[in-house]
Chains A and B, each alone.
Chain A
């Protein structure tokens, strides 16, 4: 049995039908040796298969808008350098952008954030106030914002 029930898949499909206006590209970074076994650090990937299921569920909910590319970081070294660990899901409006990322299994509170990210990237709508947007224009250097969360 998968981690996403059929009921949630149906809800996703219905939600995306109205919420997505433009294309969204998901890039999933994984490595082989994946299983739910917790292995020593750096060996295998305990959550890659679940992350794949989530990414595929998002794509399948709106296949005409959402595309998915899966990259094995052990085989594609150049692309692997884009992320620091696996699994990582990158949400972008085209294949060459990728500034919204989810590192680790986006379950729990991260799942709604991932869905929202897909919708906002599709609509190119950050949903920020005019004041915040104005403040952000003052940012002239690349800035990394790491947000640590948990599945619960």
Chain B
């Protein structure tokens, strides 16, 4: 949650929205939220769990379709797709 906010402060391209999952069950169901934290990028790809900064930034960029350079690729984890 904090890392998404920090990315939004750093980049004018990023909007971070922290969602209280229990309060918005329909939105949570739409994105298949069964455990938290779950991070959803551009309402398409997502990942679960609190990642360290390098992995969080790299995975978010990867899900946003940004090709990673060597440093970013080192931190990137596997992405998961949202349920159909």
Q: How far is the CA of A101 from the CA of B4 in the complex (A)?
A: 10
Least Cβ–Cβ distance between B46 and chain A, in angstroms: 8
What are 18 of the A-B contact pairs (CB < 8 Å)? A41-B26, A104-B24, A105-B20, A117-B5, A128-B57, A132-B10, A132-B57, A135-B58, A140-B13, A142-B13, A144-B14, A144-B17, A145-B41, A146-B43, A147-B16, A148-B39, A150-B22, A150-B36
Stretch of A52-60, A64-72, A118-126 with 4 or more beta carbons under 8 angstroms from chain B: A118-126
User: Are the CB atoms of B42 and A144 closer together than 8 Å?
Assistant: yes
Q: How far is the CA of A110 from the CA of B37 in the complex (A)?
A: 11
User: Are the CB atoms of A99 and B8 closer together than 8 Å?
Assistant: yes
List chain A residues, Cβ under 8 A from B77.
none
| Closest chain A residue, CB of each to CB of B65 | A141
A10 contacts partner chain B, Cβ-Cβ < 8 Å: no
List chain B residues, Cβ under 8 A from A129.
53-54
Q: How large is the interface on B (under 10, 10 to 19, 20 to 34, 35 or more residues)?
A: 35 or more
Q: How far is the CA of A141 from the CA of B6 in the complex (A)?
A: 17
A4 contacts partner chain B, Cβ-Cβ < 8 Å: no
Residues in B lying within 8 Å of A, measured CB to CB: 1-2, 4-24, 26-28, 31, 33, 36-43, 53-54, 57-58, 60-61, 64-69, 71-72
User: Are the CB atoms of B66 and A100 closer together than 8 Å?
Assistant: no
A143 contacts partner chain B, Cβ-Cβ < 8 Å: yes
Least Cβ–Cβ distance between B53 and chain A, in angstroms: 6
- A128-B53, A143-B41 are known contacts. Are A99 and B15 too (CB-CB below 8 A)? yes
User: Are the CB atoms of B21 and A113 closer together than 8 Å?
Assistant: no
Least Cβ–Cβ distance between A33 and chain B, in angstroms: 16
- Leading 5 A-B pairs by shortest Cβ distance: A104-B20, A126-B10, A104-B23, A99-B8, A126-B9
Least Cβ–Cβ distance between B79 and chain A, in angstroms: 13
User: Are the CB atoms of B5 and A116 closer together than 8 Å?
Assistant: yes
Least Cβ–Cβ distance between B44 and chain A, in angstroms: 10
Q: Mark A62-81, 1 if CB is under 8 A from B, else 0.
A: 00000000000000000000
User: Are the CB atoms of B5 and A100 closer together than 8 Å?
Assistant: yes
Least Cβ–Cβ distance between A111 and chain B, in angstroms: 11
